[in-house]
Structures are given as C-alpha cells and as structure tokens.
Structure 1
Amino acid sequence: MIRPHDAATLADSEALTRLVTAYSRAIDRRDFDLLAALYLPEASDTHGHAFSGGVADYLAYLRKALSAYEATTHYVLQTHFEIDGDAAEGEVHKLNYHRTHGPDAVHVVTGSRSLDRYARRDGAWYFRARHVVNDWIDRRPAEEAH
C-alpha cells in the first residue's frame, strides 16, 4: 500500500525531481556551470567502470567524453525518493540517446539507473553522491541527420 505524503514530503520530492531533470538538461546542453552547481563541493560521481571521483574530475571527464557525440538526450523516466530530513536517497531510471559524429555516425541508446544520495543545504537540494548503472546498451548505424 502506498502511504499518503505530507505537503513537505511532496515539495521535497518535486525539488529532487527538478534536480535530476536539471542534471539531464545540463548534460545535453553541455552547461558545465549548471552541472557543477547541482553538486555539493565534496560530492562524488561514479559512472560504471568509466569514471569514479570528485566533481571537478567528473566535469573534466565529461568534457572529453561528450566531445565524442554530436548530440545527446537524457530522459528521466521514473523516480523514487526516500527523504529523511535534510538527507535523501533516490533511484532514477533514465533512457539516454547519443549520436556520434561523421558520416559513419552511430546511435547509442542506453537504459540506466542513477542511485543517488542527496543533501539539503540552505533550503536547496544537491547531489552528494551519484552512482550510474547501465542496465543495457544498443548501438546501431545512424542514418544521415536532416
């Protein structure tokens, strides 16, 4: 049975949803300033076997990794948050599209989950730790973009 939530819990859930969707927007727009602002300074990020470390190193990793793609789109499909005061944990399911450059471009589509820990500071929610797990990946030749 799903228990009803009070207004404060619903407001926190909405704020956390806005945080995780802002992350997707920042990635897809290559807005590294926005992305940095979503994390606490001491936060960490882990993306499977590709990266694990602090925020500054993650941003440097992303700049290089995203340069391989002409376009990306990250969709948040569903979220689940457990909120305890100024701390929370979440599981965010995502569908992620990537298109490489050039005449031999490839579509890379992945299904992933972000296992997150959040903290509220000065009334705002931030990532404290993000751990991305790729559940599946599909690579296919891309048709020429029009």
Structure 2
Amino acid sequence: MRAAARPGRAMMLTTGDRVELADLVARYAAAVDDRAFAAAAALFTEDAVLAMPSPPAELGPADVHSGRSTIAGALRAVEAFELTQHAIVGQVFDGDGRTATGRIACIAHHLSKRSSPINLVWHLRYADGYLRQDGAWRFARRELSIDWIETRTPRRSRVPSWSEDD
C-alpha cells in the first residue's frame, strides 16, 4: 500500500526529469565541442548567468556573463583550440520538478598546436541551477570551476593541420 503524499512535502525530481537534465548537460558539451555557440546558448534561460574561470590565474568562477547572446560570445573562447572534448564523468541532480540544481564533473580536453601538439586537460566541475520553462529544462545559472590542469602530449589527432607523421 502506497503512503499518501504529505501536505507541504516538496516534490522530488522524477526519473524523467533526471534524464532530461542529463540530456541538457550532454547537449551543452556537444554544442561547445561542435562550435555551435548559438545552440549552446539556447539551452539557457533568456536571463541566465554563466560564470567561468580565467585560467591559469583564476580557477574559480571569475568572469560572469549574463544573457544568451553574451553567453554565446563567451563560449567562443574555445575557438583558441583546434579541438575540444568535454567528457561528463559524473552528475548529481536535486530539485522539485520546477527548479533543480546539479553538480557535474567533467574532464575537458583542449587540443592546440604550438611548436608541437599540446592537450590541456581541465578537471572541472559545474555548479548548475536549472529552471523548467515551457516544458523544458534550461540552465538558469552555470558556474565552472577548475580543480586542476594537466598538460599532455598527444601522439596523433584528426585535426587536419597535423601530419600523420607527428
């Protein structure tokens, strides 16, 4: 026998909410990696805030960008790299079905070529605030913090400017 809902008890996230939130997080990572900045910004509410670090000097959320068009412009910073790959390695969501929070762990690879290929690897986390708007979850706030940075030397890449002999 199921217990009746208690008055005043907050509604929890459903399995469907959690799937939708995980999809939102994955779509953001894919859009950034694909350089689809307008598509990434469209995943935010109109008045959303994106707080990003300014590495290597500042690893916590230092630069704040408000609104979709400003967020799209801020995401263009990845164009400094030939290729990026954001791998989501953990996610935890809490909420009430209308608002939610998330803690997202990610390993972000940033491939560049100076005199030789370099992979800057950021071990990072997002502290997210979400809002359900017009039947869909959106980022209302996203704060990015970098826990540590590694530098690696890749052996090969599909980046066209690199030769197969590198």
TM-score normalised by the shorter chain: which range applies? 0.7 to 0.9
Residues 144/33 of structure 1: CA separation in 2 closer, same or farther (3 Å cut): same
Which range moves more in the overlay, 47-56 or 78-87? 47-56
Q: Tell whether 2:148 aligns with 1:136.
A: yes
- Contact map agreement 1:68 1:101 (CA 8 A) in 2: no
Secondary structure class of the residue paired with 2:116: coil
Q: Give CA-to-partner distance per residue, 1:90-124, whole Å, 9 cap, x none.
A: 10000111101354231101111100000001110
What is the identity, as a one-letter code, of the residue corresponding to 2:33? D
**Pair member with larger Rg:** 2
Task: Tell me what 1:107 maps to.
Answer: 119
Consecutive unaligned residues in structure 1, runs of 5 or more:
1-5
TM-score in terms of structure 2 length: 0.77
Q: Give CA-to-partner distance per residue, 1:59-84, whole Å, 9 cap, x none.
A: 21222x11211100001111100011
What is the identity, as a one-letter code, of the residue corresponding to 2:117? A
Q: How does 1:1-146 map to 2 (within 5 A)?
A: 9-49=14-54, 51-54=63-66, 55-63=68-76, 65-143=77-155, 145=157, 146=164
Q: For 1:82 and 1:26, locate their aligned partners in 2 and report how far apart those are by CA, in whole Å.
A: 24
Secondary structure class of the residue paired with 1:127: strand
TM-score in terms of structure 1 length: 0.87
What percentage of residue pairs aligned between the two structures are identical?
Answer: 31
Report the aligned-residue RMSD.
Answer: 2.0
Superposed structure 1 runs of 4+ greater than 6 Å apart: none
Give how far 1:23 is off: 0.4
Q: For 1:38 and 1:89, locate their aligned partners in 2 and report how far apart those are by CA, in whole Å.
A: 15
Q: For 2:152 and 2:87, locate their aligned partners in 1 and report how far apart those are by CA, in whole Å.
A: 19
Which range moves more in the overlay, 133-142 or 14-23? 133-142
Q: For 1:33 and 1:59, locate their aligned partners in 2 and report how far apart those are by CA, in whole Å.
A: 6
**Matched residue count:** 140
Q: For 1:73 and 1:108, locate their aligned partners in 2 and report how far apart those are by CA, in whole Å.
A: 11
Q: For 1:8 and 1:109, locate their aligned partners in 2 and report how far apart those are by CA, in whole Å.
A: 33
Name the one with the larger helix percent.
Answer: 1
Q: For 2:99 and 2:107, locate their aligned partners in 1 and report how far apart those are by CA, in whole Å.
A: 26
- Contact map agreement 1:104 1:142 (CA 8 A) in 2: no
